[in-house]
Amino acid sequence: MKVNHAEGDALTMIAVNIDCDRLVTTDTAGRMKLWDISKADFRNKESDPLSKIREMWFIQAHKSLVTSLSIVETFKEHPGSDLFILSSGGDCNVLLHRLSNG
């Protein structure tokens, strides 16, 4: 599994959506990464779930550490609905990211 959070930076936040198929991680440098965990089988002790996790996107979200993270779910029955990530950082910014495109 490829990880772009830099060596020496610590993860600060993680969040999973309601369907448990998307995972978001953030770090002390303000970076945010979205993972597809829909194919990972964490219940099967015979398989390696980490081999099934796929990186979807990776962005520099804040200028310094991410201090808060939340996935905002919209109604799936509405056409064109999406998931959003709400984050705040040590740079005193609050940002709203569209999950589908970062």
* pLDDT in 10s for each residue of the chain, 102 residues: 445 677 788 889 999 988 888 999 999 999 999 999 988 877 777 777 777 888 888 889 999 999 999 998 876 666 666 788 999 999 999 999 887 765
For residue 35, the tally of other CB atoms under 10 A from its CB is: 21
Look up the pTM and report it: 0.80
Gap between the Cα atoms of 85 and 70, Å rounded: 6
